[in-house]
Structure 1
Amino acid sequence: MSLSSKALEQNVSQSNTPKPPLKPGLLKSSSKVGAMTMSSRVLGLVRDVVFAHTIGAGGGADAFFVAFKIPNFMRRLFAEGAFAQAFVPVLSEYRQNGSHAAVKALVDRVAGGLGFVLMVVTALAVLGAPFVATLFAPGFRTDPEQFALAAEMIRITFPYLMLISLTGLVGAILNSYDRFAVPAFTPVLLNIVLIVAALVVAPLFDPPALGLAWGVLAAGVVQFLFQLPFLKPLHLLPAPKVDWRDPGVKRILTLMVPALFGVSVSQINLLLDTVIASLLPDGSISWLYYSERLADLPLGVFAVAIATVILPNLSRQHAGKDPASFASTLDWAIRLVFLIALPAVVALLILAQPILTTLFQYGATTASDTAMATLSLRAYALGLLAFMLIKVLAPGFYARQDMKTPVRIGIIAMATNMVLNLLFVVPLHFYYGIGHVGLALATAISAYINSALLYRGLRRQQIFWRQRGWGRFAVQLVLANMAMGVLLFAALVLWPNWVEWGAFARVWRLAVICVAGAVVYAAVLVIFGLRPRHLKHPSA
């Protein structure tokens, strides 16, 4: 669909139109986003260590994690997920084919419409907090005190949705203009605020988890105010206007409605895990949270960074009718995912218990909590490759404004996850007392189904075709991961008793193992012919 004639007729003087930045290489942009995200994730681990020490993995911790997870899940829908996937391609088309004034008009109307919807959703959630708690954690109803605490924290944390979603809008605009660093750095502020809240504010509350809930709200304010000024050099500071008849807004809504489901299937599955986990023994939600956070580290640092960079590039390649570059960009992204995901899977499977012991087994977190989280971490690790592939395969559809295919695939994956939950959780809970592991395992398997169907869809529509060199690349990966795995096993034979050591002894040993594993992995890749130039995008 072409831009509206009204939008295209708008013009501004050259002096007011920002010059487009030089287009950086995709690897360089991904590395920049990954470095910023790594800073955030490292601080996120520090944050979770502080959480584990402060609130542990009991009923109060479960209530907080539910209250924190709900607006985060909604954020994936309204900001980083469906909205970004619908907004960025349309904004890229406006940039490609229209004037700066047309882009500004679109930003104003999108900001007004999104802000209005978020205000309504937030108000309804705050007023209906007990209903929201029942919907997302029905198991809490058996404990009136825990249920009341969860409802109270939902009232405090839910406005974070509005703040962080508007932050996501600003970030999507910056990413569309290849300004990736600021949106990637912004989550660092979330972790800093929550660490301060855990150390300073939480001890002032009873229970301490209430102080963390207020920290979540404060973090939303800080992130939004930090990111907003960076739109000024682009002359795109929003002047919000609600106009549902605007052609650009209509197109984004049309694309966003199916994407609400399609792009967020993995998040919906994780949320369903939370719902079912609330029916399991106390601590189940916390065990899943801590293990999911570790599995999410490579996903958030690398896969999200790659997906963030390729979406606007794919959108421009589609708008410019360049299918060869489109397929080449997807191939490059998939290779990077395999390069990063496979060693991460091997490392998490082997080192799950030492990592969890080193990071979380202090204060209120017990050895039993670590053992339970270890099992679910290994289950999530099995699905890590699929989680990461979904992040880079889905943009292949969204950049072409095809939302129907991922939705259809998402429905299949979600239905599979529900069936697998029943097949795994019930026997594992009643026979072994580890029902939460069934939830993680079901999520992992459904992710593979999701990614496989996305890949098949791209091939069938001839959107993607493999480039040369995959056979040699596969051999290099297999040999490098085998060598690294042998080293990690040997290290655990040398250092088996992690629980007996203090924090410093655990940390330096884990650091040595991780660095040694990374060096061996990289060395084997180099020995068998992989060079840094092979990781660059062909068009760079």
Structure 2
Amino acid sequence: MSAPCSQTPPASSSQAAKRGLLGSSLLVSLMTLVSRVLGLARDISIALLFGAGSGADAFFVAFKIPNFLRRLFAEGAFNQAFVPVLSEYRSQHPSEVRPLIGAVFIALSSVLFVVTGLAIWGAPWLVWVFAPGFAQDADQLALTAQMLQMTFPYLALISLTAFCSSILNTYDKFAIPAFTPVWLNLSLIACAFLLTPWLETPIFALAWGVLIAGVIQLIFQLPFLAQLALLPPLPSSWQAWKQAWQHSGVKRILDLMLPALFGVSVSQINLLLDTILASLLVTGSVSWLYYSDRLVELPLGVFGIAIATVILPSLSRQHTQADQTAFGRLLVWGLRLVLLIALPAALGLMLLAEPLLTTLFQYGAMGTQDVTMAALSLRAYALGLVAFMLIKVLAPGFYARQDTRTPVRIGVKAMLANMVFNLLLVWHLAHTGLALATALSAFLNAYWLYQGLRQAGILTDLNELWPYVLKLSAGLLALAIAVVISSQPLDWWFAATWWMRTLTLAMQIGLGAAAYFGVLWLLGIRWQALKTHEPPAS
């Protein structure tokens, strides 16, 4: 992989500047929405073909291990450390950008190669660590380990993809990274239907889908890096590998990244702890948590992660320019946008838990009992949605200033709190207690992040948000009334055809959204106000 060294990467993007942060966020949200809708189609396909049985449990664990490490390592700690450093090089040392990218690529690739090799060799032990309950069933353990050996190379492929995405996002090319996950969903859907009839163990079709998707996602982004003349060259000698680790930018990224491994992705660690404990519960618990988590991930990914993706490079530039006032306004803008979306999304998920799960997943091997159990954990996760999204905005406030130590301390405290909540709740509420523990620890995490920014003199006065929150509360009341009035009994959802379910659910969501945004419009919240970083009119 190489690009002509004579080309100079663009110093700025006038198109992104004209579009603005809200426009960029909406662009990322739109692309992410396509991916999430296909992700729901993927999960519907899995539920249809495999339900919530032992095979599905095995795949979800085999996929969750590399996927967890991807979010923790590549899209988490690495991204939060790499983007601020790359932004600084772009602003202050543009001629050094390509050498930095080349050195980071070599260092990252070498780590991924070693980690992937060790994981494939030690797959049975990894399964035992991440899902100890599977050790009670030798066949379940062996099946999961075999699939993990197939899915783990996805970590290396998707980490390199995340590396490419970080570069594109830094140069305000948000659409391509946001669209990239579409290929994972398309690959899993295609393999589920096309390979399943030909395999002795049908669930292996999903493992093949993950591996194929990793290759496609990486290849997809390379031409867009080439357009920016930022495609990293392949190392030509051992000396190049050695020089990469000695590069000052790589050392700075490592210094920022190592503590961030805990601080930036606490919610993912908490979800993994849920999986470990769920493997000790009744069969289906892992799958119930997976399906409910997938629905919470829809608004979180479409809006929360989209806002965080757009805001981090902008915060990094404001920090480089030493404009703390603008830095604080950007964070407040992010908080306003998160509250606008997260509050109605959380309420909607709680009110429509069974209708959503029934409409999307209750076909084929997915039974009514599975829907009832998954709805319990969905409501618990939904309680924490606001906190999950707030974390996505508050954490970049530290990483953009190249402060990773404070979120680490906060992250460790939140992890410990999650463990305590898990032990207190799992014995009485089973898998629902695990989801509730994750939500409670997320609120603590968000609160401690806010306090850290406040003590740093960045978020010193949020009084402007209270009139805004009161208006949102009125909209939430209207949403709840609209959904409740249009609701149907649970037995109706179980008995209805798929098209009746779909139309009724779409009507309820539409009525709720119209009531919510209609009340906000009557109370004076306008689109134009959301596009600026200034406080909304009270």
Same fold (TM over 0.5): yes
Q: Which amino acid aligns with 1:67?
A: A
Equivalent in the alignment of 1:28: 23
Alpha-carbon distance in structure 1 between the residues aligned to 2:461 and 2:230: 38
C-alpha deviation, 1:17, in angstroms: 4.2
Equivalent in the alignment of 1:8: none
Gaps of 5+ in 1: 1-11, 429-434
Instruction: Rate the CA distance shift 1:466–1:184 in 2: closer, same or farther, 3 A.
Output: farther
Report the TM-score, using the length of structure 1 for normalisation.
0.95
Q: Show CA shifts across 1:69-96 (max 9, x none).
A: 0110111122110000000000000011
Q: Show CA shifts across 1:350-373 (max 9, x none).
A: 100010011111001111111000
Q: Which amino acid aligns with 1:170?
A: C
**After superposition, where does 1:112-127 map in structure 2 within 5 Å?**
112-127=106-121
Q: Show CA shifts across 1:451-504 (max 9, x none).
A: 000001101111223467423211210100000001111111588611110111
Q: Show CA shifts across 1:409-437 (max 9, x none).
A: 00110000001111000123xxxxxx100
Return the match for 2:517 from 499, 522, 529. 522
**After superposition, where does 1:26-65 map in structure 2 within 5 Å?**
26-65=21-60
Q: Which amino acid aligns with 2:469?
A: A
**Larger deviation: 175-184 or 486-495?**
486-495
Does structure 1 retain, via aligned residues, the 8 Å contact 2:354–2:490? no
Equivalent in the alignment of 2:368: 367
Equivalent in the alignment of 1:3: none
Equivalent in the alignment of 2:196: 202
Return the match for 2:185 from 191, 194, 200. 191
Return the match for 2:77 from 82, 88, 105. 82
Equivalent in the alignment of 2:325: 324
Residue 482 (1) aligns with residue 472 (2) = no
Does structure 1 retain, via aligned residues, the 8 Å contact 2:387–2:442? yes
Q: Show CA shifts across 1:352-395 (max 9, x none).
A: 00100111110011111110000000000000000000000000
SS at match of 2:120: helix
Alpha-carbon distance in structure 2 between the residues aligned to 1:214 and 1:466: 51
Does structure 2 retain, via aligned residues, the 8 Å contact 1:262–1:408? yes
Alpha-carbon distance in structure 2 between the residues aligned to 1:117 and 1:164: 14
Does structure 2 retain, via aligned residues, the 8 Å contact 1:60–1:207? no
Q: Which amino acid aligns with 1:208?
A: P
Alpha-carbon distance in structure 1 between the residues aligned to 2:340 and 2:428: 36
Alpha-carbon distance in structure 1 between the residues aligned to 2:30 and 2:533: 22
Q: Show CA shifts across 1:498-537 (max 9, x none).
A: 1110111101110111111111111000001111111113
Gaps of 5+ in 2: 236-240
Return the match for 2:154 from 155, 160, 167. 160
Alpha-carbon distance in structure 2 between the residues aligned to 1:19 and 1:461: 30
Alpha-carbon distance in structure 1 between the residues aligned to 2:508 and 2:217: 35
**Larger deviation: 401-410 or 76-85?**
76-85
Equivalent in the alignment of 1:5: none
Alpha-carbon distance in structure 2 between the residues aligned to 1:197 and 1:496: 34
SS at match of 1:237: coil
SS at match of 2:495: coil
**After superposition, where does 1:282-361 map in structure 2 within 5 Å?**
282-361=283-362
Residue 131 (1) aligns with residue 132 (2) = no
Instruction: Rate the CA distance shift 1:17–1:411 in 2: closer, same or farther, 3 A.
Output: closer
Q: Which amino acid aligns with 2:437?
A: A
Return the match for 2:139 from 126, 140, 145. 145
Alpha-carbon distance in structure 1 between the residues aligned to 2:488 and 2:33: 30
Residue 237 (1) aligns with residue 242 (2) = no
Q: What's the % identity of the aligned pairs?
A: 56
Q: Which amino acid aligns with 1:105?
A: P
Equivalent in the alignment of 1:504: 499
SS at match of 2:460: coil
C-alpha deviation, 1:20, in angstroms: 2.4
**After superposition, where does 1:386-535 map in structure 2 within 5 Å?**
386-428=387-429, 435-466=430-461, 469-493=464-488, 497-535=492-530
Does structure 2 retain, via aligned residues, the 8 Å contact 1:380–1:441? yes
Equivalent in the alignment of 2:238: none
Query: Runs (4+) of structure 1 moved beyond 6 Å?
Result: none
C-alpha deviation, 1:408, in angstroms: 0.3
Q: Show CA shifts across 1:139-190 (max 9, x none).
A: 1111111111000000000000000000000000000000000000000111
Does structure 2 retain, via aligned residues, the 8 Å contact 1:487–1:517? yes
Equivalent in the alignment of 2:209: 215
Report the TM-score, using the length of structure 2 for normalisation.
0.95
SS at match of 1:25: helix
Alpha-carbon distance in structure 2 between the residues aligned to 1:120 and 1:524: 55
Q: Which amino acid aligns with 1:139?
A: G
Instruction: Rate the CA distance shift 1:351–1:539 in 2: closer, same or farther, 3 A.
Output: closer
- Note the aligned Cα RMSD (angstroms): 1.4
Q: Show CA shifts across 1:15-52 (max 9, x none).
A: 64435211230000000000000000000001000000
Alpha-carbon distance in structure 1 between the residues aligned to 2:334 and 2:304: 9
